[in-house]
Amino acid sequence: MPVLCVIPARLGSSRLPKKPLLLLAGDPLILWVVRRVADSGVADRIVVATDAPEIATVVERAGFEAATTSSRHQSGTERVAEVVGQKAFSEFDLCVNVQGDEPLIAVEAIRGAVQRVRGGDPIGTAAGTLDRAFAGDPSRVKVVVGPTGRALYFSRAPIPFDRDGSGTVVYHQHVGVYAYTRDALERWIRLPPVPEETWERLEQLRPLAHGLPIGVALVDRPPAPGVDTADDLKTVAALLARQLREVSP
C-alpha cells in the first residue's frame, strides 16, 4: 500500500509568525521537516499543504511538492484531508500527517505510526518517554496507552496520576505524527466536536471520544523538541547546527 505524507504548514502562527519560513541553520524550517520525512523512507510521495504562496514557492524551489489548500481550516487534519481528497492523490489509501514544526521528529516515530495502521489500527501515532520531572508541563502532551497498544486518553495534565506517590508511574509524551487510512481520515473530519478537545486543545480527542481507535507506537527515548516559540527556535537551531558539524568531513 503506497504511502502519502502530507505536511500541513500555515503562516498564521500566533506565537511565532511566519514560522515555516523562519531560518534554522540557514534553511527554512519547513524544508528541514520535508527532508526529515524523506530520510525516513516511509513515504512514496511527500507534499506540503499550505494556503500561503510564500511557503509553496520555497518548497517548490527546493525541488519538493506543494499543494494549495483553503485558508479556512481549523486544524492540520482538515488541511491534510483536503489534499488527500484531491484527484491527484486518489491512489493513496494510507497517508501520514507530519506536523510542519517538527524538524527533528524521530524517524522511528513516523515509521511506527505507519506500522500501527498497517497492523490494523485506523489511526496511528507515536509517543516517546517522558521524565516525570516534566510531567506537569502542559506543552508536553501525555498519552496513556492500553495493553493492546492503543491510546486510552491524551492530556496536557500529568496522566496517569500517581495517587500514592509511588514514583513508579511511566509517562509517555505524544509525538506530532498521525497515520490514517483514507476512510478513518474522512470519518475524523466529519465527526462533531467534543468538549474534551476544546478543554485540552487537543484535536485527537475527537476521534478517540467517538470510538475511533488510535494505535500508539512507543519510541524508547524522549521526543526531540518541536518549534512553538522563539526559544524553541534557538534550541532546535543549535541542535541542527551541531548535527551538521558532526557529519561534516
Indicate if the pLDDT at residue 221 is higher than 70. Answer: yes
pLDDT for 1: 83
Alpha carbon distance 71, 191 (integer Å): 20
Average pLDDT for 167-179? 94
Contact (Cβ atoms closer than 8 angstroms) between residue 5 and residue 43? yes
Alpha carbon distance 197, 178 (integer Å): 16
Domains of the chain and CATH, by start: 1-101 (3.90.550.10), 106-222 (3.90.550.10)
Average pLDDT for 129-145? 95
pLDDT-derived band at 247 (thresholds 50, 70, 90) equals low
Cβ burial, residue 35 (10 Å; 0-12/13-18/19+): middle
Phi and psi of 50, rounded to 5°?
-150, 155
Alpha carbon distance 174, 129 (integer Å): 9
Cβ burial, residue 169 (10 Å; 0-12/13-18/19+): middle
Indicate if the pLDDT at residue 248 is higher than 80. Answer: no
DSSP letter, residue 150 = B
pLDDT for 228: 84
Contact (Cβ atoms closer than 8 angstroms) between residue 136 and residue 158? yes
pLDDT for 226: 87
Q: For residue range 91-123, what is the model confidence (pLDDT) as tens digits?
A: 999 999 999 899 999 999 999 999 999 999 999
Supply the pTM of this predicted model.
0.92
pLDDT for 10: 86
Assigned C-alpha cell, 183:
476512510
Average pLDDT of every residue of the chain: 92
Q: For residue range 15-29, what is the model confidence (pLDDT) as tens digits?
A: 788 899 999 888 999
Cα Dmax for the chain = 56
